[in-house]
Structure formats: structure tokens, C-alpha cells
Structure 1
């Protein structure tokens, strides 16, 4: 992948059998092996589409460090996700009245595919709707997990937003405490608490999380199988303790569609070194595999299960 600041930076670049000459209104792509010259016309405010054409022609993926404000929506929406991503997101937001005028909305950015996808969804809603609200991406970074959040920060900047980073050492006490039966739950709870405190300081009234349909179904089954209750992960709920609302716009979206979207846009996923994410002893992973096995005979099983527990969301 080639990262550039402006399209003129591509001038003179050589990739495999291709060389590039960038003019004021066109790019000449020369196939030096077959001695073929292809000219691609472009306009200064449509660089995203130009880069997409270059990728299809040469397989060279080029990304801009900064996208023109007029092109952000073009970049986010892409093609082929109206039915599987944007429509279910819109329905969930409408069903639970997630965003309203005057909202100050924090987006919990873990650095994974889900949080970056839901960030894009919020930006898209802000641009296509008449709702006036503000977006504040916030990243809680456990230093024990390693990883560099620089690319995520650059991505937010490219989207016209500033990523707020709160570094913490919460992982140390959680990972070394052998008495904890559910370290993942405790880790998530501590991170959420840090987010809530920061939101209160900044007078932010809503928190967006990237949980999707699979997460909701898996959590319900985990509670039934291992806790003996019918607790659910609600698409939206009020936190009376902190005086804010938590919303999950991806509640109707299946994880496989988020994976496709993240790959197509080449989102900068932050690598997670947490040992519980891939542990064979993970109860969530066991439930995920169970649902995957059941879906072989019933492809719509996630939707069927979600519909069966909707009455518990109230």
C-alpha cells in the first residue's frame, strides 16, 4: 500500500510493470511490459474515485493522508453495502431513536473493525441527515496490550476528526488476578468506566459502541448457558448512574459484512495482543463456533435469534 499526501506525489512512481505520470487533469498509467499507455481523467475533488480506478487497473492500493471534505462520504459509502450495512444501521438508529439534534456523541474506538466501521456510520449519518450532532472518537489504550494507535489517529484525522487517547494500565491488575472468573467482562467494565468519566468531563451525552448482531446473539446465549439468566446486550439503553445513553448502531448488522467492509476500505485495524481473544478456553469463542455450525443448516439463524429476543430489549 502506498500512502501519499496529494495525487501529484504519485508522479514518477513505479509499481511492478506500471509507471505513473500525473498531469493537472489526467493520470497516465504506462504498462512498461506490454507498452500500453492508459489515460485516466480526473477532477481535483474526485481523487477517491481516481484511486479506485488505479487499484482496479494495477492492483496498487493508494491511500491519502487527508481526504477532501467533499469526498469523505464517497470514501465511506463505497459500493455494495447498502442492503447489508447502511440499511440495517439506519433501521436500528430509527427503531431506537439513537441520535437527535444537539447530541454530543462519543465513539468508543478500540481500533478493531467494528469500532472503525461504526465511526464511519456516524460520519455518514451526520453528512446525509439533517440531524445536528457532534462526534468525539475516544480510544482507551491499555499499555500492556502493546500496539501503536498512530494509524488510527491518522485515520480519524483523515475523516476530519481528532482521536482522543487515554492510556491506562488496567490490563496489569486484570491479567494477573487469577481469581477473576470473567476477565474480559471486568476489562470491558473498567474501560467503560474510564470512558464515562471522560464523557462527563466533556459534557458528552451519548456513547456509541461497535457491538453487532453476532455480539448480541452470542451474549444472550452465554448468559443462558453459563449464567442461567436471560440477560441481553441492548441496542440502546440509558445509564442512570452516569446520566448518558449507550447506543449500538450495528445491532442489526452481521459480523461477516463488517469484515468485508473493513477489508474493502483497508481500515487500519489495531492488532490486539490480549491472550483471552483467541484462547481455546474462551466461552464466547465456543458459542461463536456453535452458531457458525448451526448457520450451515440455517443461514438466517442470527436474524431468527435476534428477532426472538427483541422483546427483552425494552
Structure 2
């Protein structure tokens, strides 16, 4: 995927859901994976021409897994002239050695979000950005349906009352396949995830299930996303209201 196409998808999401206002300072969550690095490129490129002026801060929560090296991301941020902060934590030790969690992902995610939100506030940010793409939207819908018995997925924009931050997801119109293409084309410095639970989560199960359904019934992937766009999910109906105010 070309950078221009990425910026087009990103701007559409930002416009459709009024994600960015003038004066915003956005902390971009950087895990080191392809998704978060693509988001960094997208927001860095968007701010060059977007009518609403905004700033970005790149932030990584280092869970303390031995062997994780974020120096390639630091060099990328230097090239992009984006301030980069790494938060060193003992999350891995807490989850795996002290608590010995049977479901480590839930506690790990909670602790990482807490550390990220705290640092974002310290940096003077009023918004945070996650790199969830279209496939994540659909997989979350499937997990909620099959595992929780409810029809739900996360919102494009979410106000976090406890922290006072607003969470935005600018990549919701981007397919994961396009993210992979972007990573390959621009040789993104992806940092390998050394977490022992990586690739063994329920999300991975949902991902494989959707792939299977899409193989048997071509177009299933896009039809699910269209149903979400046209439904009454929390936050997603804001796209309709926003469009009406523009016409």
C-alpha cells in the first residue's frame, strides 16, 4: 500500500468521526508492531496538510521482557522528528512471575494501558491513538458475539472518564492486508514481540475463524464491517450524524 492511500483512509476515518481538533496533542501508542508503526506514519503524514493543527508524541510501554530492543523505533522517530518516550515497567514480572496469571493478556493489557495513559497525561496530551484496523474491529465483534453473547465492538472514538483522555482509532478503515503491504513497501522497523502468549490468544482464534468464513463465503469480512457501519453500535452511528452536519 502506498503512503498516499494510507493517508486517504486515515483522513476519511478522522473526518467521519471528528477525531482530531485544532490544538490536540496526541500520544500514539507504539508497541513496535506493524500496526502501530503504520499509525505513526499515518498521523505524521496527516499533520503536514490536515486543516486542524495537532501534535503527536510516540510512546512505548516496555513491559520488561528480556531481549526487547526498541532502538530501531527510536531511530525512526528521530528521522520523522517525533518525540519518543519509552516507559520502563515490571509488567512482565508481575504478570508471569508474581501473579502467575492463567489469563496473562487481560492483566497485562490493563497495566500497559494504565502506564500509557499516565504518561500521556504527563506529556500534556489530551488524546491517545491506538492502531486498531478494520480486521481488529471485525475480530472484536466476533469475539463479543461468540464469547460474551453480545453484539458489540469498540468505538472509533471513546472518552475515558477516569483519565480525561479521548481515545481515537484512525486506522479503522484500513485492512490488515494493506498494513502488511505498507510494512513491506516502506521497510518498517518492526520489533519482534517476544511475549510467550503472542499468537495464542482468543483474538487469534477469531482471526482464523473469519478467514475460514471468508474463504467459504467470499465477502463475509466486508459484509460484517458494513453491518457495523450501518448498525447502532456505540460511537459508530456518529459517522451518520457527522455526515448530516456537513451536507
Check whether TM > 0.5: yes
- Tell me how far 1:93 sits from its aligned partner: 0.8
Q: TM-score scaled to structure 1, two decimals?
A: 0.70
Q: Which sections of structure 2, spanning at least 5 residues, go unmatched?
A: 236-247
- TM-superposed deviation, 1:209: 0.7
Deviates more, 1:293-302 or 1:259-268: 293-302
2:192 aligned partner: 271
Match of 1:291 in 2: 210
Q: Taking structure 2 as the reference length, what is the TM-score of the superposition?
A: 0.88
1:304 to 223, 234, 239: 223
Q: Please state which structure has a larger fraction of its residues in strand.
A: 1
Is 1:211 aligned to 2:132, yes or no? Answer: yes
Asked whether the equivalents of residues 222 and 287 of structure 1 are also in contact (C-alpha less than 8 Å), the reply is yes
Q: Distance in 1 between matches of 2:146 and 2:44?
A: 37
Task: Using the TM superposition, give the Cα deviation of residue 178 of structure 1 relative to its aligned residue in structure 2, in angstroms.
Answer: 4.4
Deviation at 1:168, TM superposition (A): 0.7
Q: CA deviation at 1:159?
A: 0.5
**Structure 1 residues 143 and 233, CA, compared in 2 at 3 Å: closer, same or farther?**
same
Match of 1:254 among 175, 182, 185: 175
Alignment pair present for 1:89 and 2:89: no
How far did residue 196 of structure 1 move? Answer: 1.0
Cα distance change of structure 1 residues 179 and 232 upon mapping to structure 2, 3 Å threshold = same
2-structure distance, mates of 1:293, 1:81: 30
Structure 1 spans left out of the alignment, 5+ residues: 1-78
Contact 1:143 1:169 in 2 (8 A): yes
Secondary structure at the aligned position of 1:128 is classed as coil
Structure number, greater radius of gyration = 1
CA shift, 1:99, in A, is: 0.8
Alignment of 1:43-54 (within 5 A): none
Distance 1:128 1:299, change over 3 A: farther
Partners of 2:7 and 2:134 lie apart in 1 by: 14
Match of 1:244 in 2: 165
Once the two structures are superposed, the pairs formed by residues 83-232 of structure 1 within 5 Å of their partners are 83=5, 85-176=6-97, 177-181=99-103, 183-232=104-153
Question: How many pairs were matched up?
Answer: 232
Query: Hey, what's the Cα distance between the residues in 1 that align with 2:175 and 2:190?
Result: 18
